[in-house]
Amino acid sequence: MVIIGKAAAKSAGLPRYFTGVACENGHIAERRTKGGACVLCRRAAAREYMRRHRANPDFLVADQRRTREWRASAAGQKWIGRYIKARWETNRDNEEFRETQRQSVRKWQAAIREKQASMDAMWRADYNDSPSYKERNRVRVVIRIARKRASPGCYTVADVAVIYERQAGLCACGCGGSIADRRYHIDHILPLCRGGTNWPDNIQLLAPACNLSKASRTMEEWIAARAVPNGEAAGI
């Protein structure tokens, strides 16, 4: 590891510096340019934090979401780019590092091939009544449409499961209709074509008839269109 002081790292725009001096816990490791924390201490603290919260599914969903949001954000992209560049600059002459990089590229390519093969196998398999298959497929289709529209955000099967639990078997529109046995349509509260996002907080589960009726309207527009002069809901 190249010795580079905090001030030098800062002026070079590097996210980390390295002095070779042990931290208070005895780690001889890089420090963060911002704040000066030892990266190994921070990693240990993050692991401990995850260990304490791992059993809580809500926490995991929220944590994954925070990570995704951060990665997609301008700040996250900038940080990742800078980190990769700095790591490369520091280690470009280190054959061991380069071999590790090559191996991880190969591993990544193999993982993609494997994932592709297993997805192909899934697609080739006959349609069956496996709810998990249907769930995955449904999420995949909606995500594909969303990508096409380049809407920000994404949600997973796990996010939909959380929303399903929260709605306790009822259509989100308040009609009292049932979505039990996972008979629902995934709806964007603010439609993608109206600038809505693909984040879980813009997702609700509607009874199929409600979703088809709402189409690409906002909730306000749809509710207004359903209302009849005497204030009762029109047939949907």
Choose the stretch contacting Zn ion; rule: CB under 5 A; options: 24-32, 68-76, 92-100, 213-221: 24-32
C-beta of residue 71 within 8 angstroms of C-beta of residue 58:
no
- Pairwise CA distance, residues 103 & 216, whole Å: 47
CB–CB of 59/53 below 8 Å? yes
CB-wise, 28 or 72, nearer to Zn ion?
28
Site size toward Zn ion, by CB under 5 A: 12
- Residue 15 sits in the site that holds Zn ion (CB under 5 A): no
Nearer to Zn ion, 23 or 60 (CB): 23
Part of the chain binding Zn ion (CB under 5 A), chosen from 19-27, 105-113, 197-205, 215-223: 19-27
Q: Kind and range of the H or E element at 204?
A: strand 203-206
CB atoms within 10 A of CB 187: 22
40 is a contact residue toward Zn ion (CB under 5 A): yes
23 binds Zn ion (CB under 5 A): yes
SS3 content of the chain, % helix, strand, coil (to 5): 60, 10, 35
Please pick, from the candidates 143, 158, 175, 190, the single residue that binds Zn ion as defined by CB under 5 A. Answer: 175
Q: Are 162 and 121 in contact (CB under 8 A)?
A: no
64 belongs to the binding site for Zn ion (CB under 5 A): no
Question: What tokens does 114 get?
Answer: 């494997």
41 touching Zn ion, by CB under 5 A: yes
Min CB(87)–Zn ion separation in Å: 19
Min dist. Cβ of residue 211 to Zn ion (A)? 8
User: Given the DSSP bridges, would you call strands 203-206 and 31-32 parallel, antiparallel or unpaired?
Assistant: unpaired
Which of 171, 179, 186, 192 is the binder for Zn ion (CB under 5 A)?
171
190 in the Ramachandran plot: left (φ > 0), alpha (ψ -120 to 50) or beta?
beta
Asked if residue 25 binds Zn ion (CB under 5 A), the reply is: yes
Kindly write out the interface string for residues 189-218 of this chain, putting x where it contacts Zn ion by CB under 5 A and - elsewhere. Answer: ------------------x--x--------
HSE, CB side, 13 Å, CA atoms: give it for residue 62: 8
Nearest-approach distance from CB 40 to Zn ion, in angstroms: 4
Tell me the two tokens of residue 155: 């949600």
Residues 6+ apart with CB under 8 A from 123: none
- Please, which residue, 34 or 106, has the CB nearer to Zn ion? 34
The site for Zn ion (CB under 5 A) is made up of: 23, 25, 27, 38, 40-41, 171, 173, 175, 177, 207, 210
